[in-house]
Amino acid sequence: MKRKLMAAAIGVTAAFAAPLAFTSEELNFDAYRQMLADGNPAELFEMEGEELWVTARGPKNATLEQCDLGLGPGVVEGAAAQLPRYFADTGKVQDLESRLMHCMETLQGIPSGEIIGGKFRQGERGKLASLVAYVVTHSKGKPIAVDVSHPKMQDMYAMGEKVFFYRTGAMDFSCASCHGEDGKRIRATHLPNITTNKGAAEGWTSWPAYRVSNSQFWTFQHRLWDCFRQQRTAEPVFASDVTIALSVFLAAKSNGYEAQWPGVKR
Amino acid sequence: MASPMRIRAASKDGVTEVRVLMSHPMETGQRKNAAGEVIPAHFITELTAKHNDKVVLSAEFGPSVSTNPYLAFKFNGGAKGDKMVVTWVDNKGESRTDEVQIS
Amino acid sequence: MSKKAIAPLALTVVLAALLAGCVKHGHYAPGASATPAAGAADQALEARVEEMMLTSFKATGIASLDRQVRDEVQKACSSPVQPDAETMRRLEEGQMATIQWPSNGDFTGGDWKEGARIAISGRGLTWTDASPDNNGGGCYNCHAMDPGEVSAGTIGPSLVGYARLRGNSEEIVRYTWGKLWNAKAYNACSNMPRNGYGKILTETQIRHLMAYLFDPASPVNK
């Protein structure tokens, strides 16, 4: 008798669960993204960034055309695919945003503090995002090629890896809590498994991106900032070491994968 | 002043495909800000596309169209080097015109 | 010795090191404590990361800097490999002692409809949230519960038909309360937040979630 009841219960569960539960495939938004990719509004930010690159601005009334993103002054083509990297002139590992911030300060005289103390999508930090859109678009389709041979890059990678597993905050989350296994979701959102190269590349090569749901262009710094917000930590400082370390960790694991920049997200 | 559009126009086998990305908030007038005040409506109402000086498309837009709208269409005719001009007008009377050469 | 002869030897050493890493830490971990020197280097790195987790952050709103400092459980579980069985047992014992059982000795009295609202809401405790009160439980972020809710995460197991499948024995009711209050008492490195112990949810809210899981009228059990 008991066995029969059990079987009936299982039957009911299946009948309810099967037609209603969504599989991972049904809840992935690849087709939607493909449709959006043709008219990705990130292009509007790219246009603004292209204009900003050649516009004389700031207390020094200079353009950014002498900015060295790692491939020599003024070279934008392919530069983002090789960032973050170690820069001898600053003695630091810098990602695209911290490097652009350095150029804005040294060439144009726009103080970094204004950007670090600012807000995303506003003021000079907003302009920086448009510059990011411009620069990353010139690495679209290029393979990620981050050089981790410098000891400071290796150190940042090691720190980034530790941070990835660092459980802290009000809900005990680390990056790995959500991004440590294949095929998982939060609500309907697919989560790449960043412990694998493929999963890391899924994230790194698709951000910065335009978010259709809020009509905003988000840089990688912005993306990480919101990850930490949802992780319930304190607020990460713009372009701080933790953001650079995690960026090096993700970028280096993405080596060889093709940049899809700028991405488009729902 | 309104931000520029990105227009692409390409001719193939006597048919020209035009793709236009517009920078516009497209506020519906239905939304409220954090303070609970209605955000005033601000959206494109009309769009006109001209091939050289001939109108090939005119469209009415409204508040249901997304922020930063994207529009793609095809028309018969058009050749490399021809002029393609797109103009929009919004409910505040602002407008923007951009042009490209068909490739 | 020719260069050719050295290469395979070096390769063997690397492979051996890699294999040792695999066995001890899984494929992903650096071979940290393989030697005392490496262990010390890892500890130095760990200390610098702890420092960075403070200096790279700032307090904003209710999200204060003390969130950057790990407790014993968080620290032990900050690695791709969970601690040894003895450590896990010791941590779980400590966490078990933090569970507050219902103040009136009664696990019932919740309203499943309130429970549903708490389960669906993922709000609360970020630096953009005004106050630490009235948080969501964020249950659907990771668990399926009501089979009619298709937007359910998959990080945790499905809880569809929770009481219908598990019954409502004292044992399962007690376990569920404890798990909701402090999930780390049952698995020190569980992905699930410590709702009661961490002051994410109040006792009343946990009571509502109990009703959502156990009430025969709750859609979870339909």
Whether residue A27 has pLDDT greater than 80: no
* Cross-chain Cβ contact B21/A41 below 8 Å: yes
Task: Note the pLDDT tens digit of each residue in A81-123.
Answer: 999 999 999 999 999 999 999 999 999 999 999 999 999 999 9
Whether residue A15 has pLDDT greater than 70: no
CA distances from B53 to A113, B56, B57, B83, C26 (A): 51, 9, 12, 8, 68
* Chain C touching partners, 3 or more CB pairs below 8 A: A
As given in the structure block, the two tokens for residue A58 are 């700031």
Alpha helices in A38-184 (DSSP H): 42-53, 96-103, 112-116, 123-137, 151-164, 175-179
Domain layout of chain C by residue ranges: 1-51, 57-222
CA distances from C182 to A38, A227, C20, C67 (A): 48, 24, 35, 18
Whether residue A21 has pLDDT greater than 50: no
Q: Report the relative pairing of strands A263-265 and A209-211 from DSSP bridges.
A: parallel
Of A43, A212, A215, the CB nearest to B21: A43
Whether residue C7 has pLDDT greater than 90: no
Residues 10-29 of B with CB under 8 A from A: 19, 21, 23, 25
Give me the torsion for CA of B29, B30, B31, B32, rounded to 10°.
Answer: 90
Whether residue A20 has pLDDT greater than 50: no
pLDDT at A213: 86
pLDDT at A29: 64
pLDDT at C105: 85
Q: Please identify which of the residues A36, A71, A176, A227 carries the catalytic annotation.
A: A227
**Please, which pLDDT band fits residue C134 given cuts at 50, 70 and 90?**
confident
Q: Which residue of C has its CA nearest to A8?
A: C165
Whether residue A13 has pLDDT greater than 70: no
Angle, vertex CA B9, rays to CA B6 and CA B10, nearest 5: 145
Q: How far apart are CA B85 and CA A154, in angstroms?
A: 52
Report the residue of B1, B21, B65 to disrupt the A interface, i.e. the one with the largest count of A CBs within 10 Å: B21
Residue A5 lies in a domain: no
By residue range, what is the domain housing residue A253? Answer: 29-265
Beta-bridge partners for A168: A173
CATH of the domain at A63: 1.10.760.10
Domain layout of chain B by residue ranges: 6-101
Mean pLDDT of chain B: 94
pLDDT at C13: 39
Please check whether residue B67 touches A, CB under 8 A. yes
Residue in the structure block whose two tokens are 């103390």: A117
pLDDT at C34: 54
Q: Please state, for a pLDDT cut of 90, what percent of chain C lies above it.
A: 77
Neighbour-count burial of C4, counting CB atoms closer than 10 A to its CB (0-12 exposed, 13-18 middle, 19+ buried): exposed
As given in the structure block, the two tokens for residue C42 are 């890892």
Whether residue A24 has pLDDT greater than 60: no
Contact B40, B55 (CB under 8 A): no
Whether residue B31 has pLDDT greater than 80: yes
For residue A215, indicate whether it is catalytic: no
- Other residues' Cβ atoms within 10 Å of the Cβ of residue C11: 10
pLDDT at C93: 98
* Number of domains into which chain A is organized: 1
pLDDT at A211: 93
In sequence order, the 6+-apart residues with CB closer than 8 A to the CB of C133 are: none
Higher confidence at residue A38 or residue C207? C207
Query: What is the distance in angstroms between the Cα of A46 and the nearest Cα belonging to chain C?
Result: 29
Task: Note the pLDDT tens digit of each residue in B1-14.
Answer: 688 899 999 999 99
Mean pLDDT of C173-187: 98
Q: How far apart are CA A126 and CA A133, in angstroms?
A: 11
Q: How far apart are CA A188 and CA A185, in angstroms?
A: 6
Task: Note the pLDDT tens digit of each residue in C45-100.
Answer: 999 999 999 999 999 999 999 999 999 999 999 999 999 999 999 999 999 999 99
- Compute φ and ψ for A202, nearest 5 degrees: -60, -40
Residues 160-199 of A with CB under 8 A from B: none
Of B3, B66, B72, the CB nearest to A44: B3
Residue type, C211: A
Please check whether residue B73 touches A, CB under 8 A. no
Q: Please state, for a pLDDT cut of 70, what percent of chain C lies above it.
A: 84
Mean pLDDT of A141-166: 98
Whether residue B36 has pLDDT greater than 50: yes
Mean pLDDT of A173-184: 96
Residue type, C195: N
Residue A16 lies in a domain: no
Q: What is the CATH number of domain C57-222?
A: 1.10.760.10
CA distances from C170 to A248, C95, C176 (A): 50, 21, 10
Q: How far apart are CA C54 and CA C68, in angstroms?
A: 6
Task: Determine the topology of domain B6-101 in CATH.
Answer: Immunoglobulin-like (2.60.40)
R_g (Cα) of chain C, nearest Å: 23
Neighbour-count burial of A173, counting CB atoms closer than 10 A to its CB (0-12 exposed, 13-18 middle, 19+ buried): buried
Q: Which residues of C touch A177 (CB under 8 A)?
A: 155, 191
Backbone angle region of B13, left / alpha / beta, with phi > 0 → left and psi within -120 to 50 → alpha? left
Whether residue A54 has pLDDT greater than 80: yes
Instruction: Give residue C39's Cα distance to chain centre.
Output: 26
Contact C170, C214 (CB under 8 A): no
**Please, which pLDDT band fits residue C103 given cuts at 50, 70 and 90?**
confident
Mean pLDDT of A194-217: 95
Task: Note the pLDDT tens digit of each residue in A213-251.
Answer: 889 999 999 999 999 999 999 999 999 999 999 999 999
pLDDT at A3: 44
- Sheet strands (E) in B1-103: 6-12, 15-21, 44-51, 54-60, 70-76, 83-90, 95-101
**Which of A109, A96, A245, B44 minimizes the C-alpha distance to C57?**
A245
Contact A111, A231 (CB under 8 A): no
Residue A266 counted as an annotated binding residue: no
Beta-bridge partners for B74: B17
pLDDT at B1: 60
Q: Which residues of A touch C47 (CB under 8 A)?
A: none
Mean pLDDT of chain A: 90
Contact B14, B58 (CB under 8 A): no
As given in the structure block, the two tokens for residue A154 are 């290796």
As given in the structure block, the two tokens for residue C6 are 């050295």
Q: How far apart are CA A230 and CA C125, in angstroms?
A: 9
Mean pLDDT of chain C: 87
- Sheet strands (E) in chain C: 57-58
ipTM reported for the complex surpasses 0.85: yes
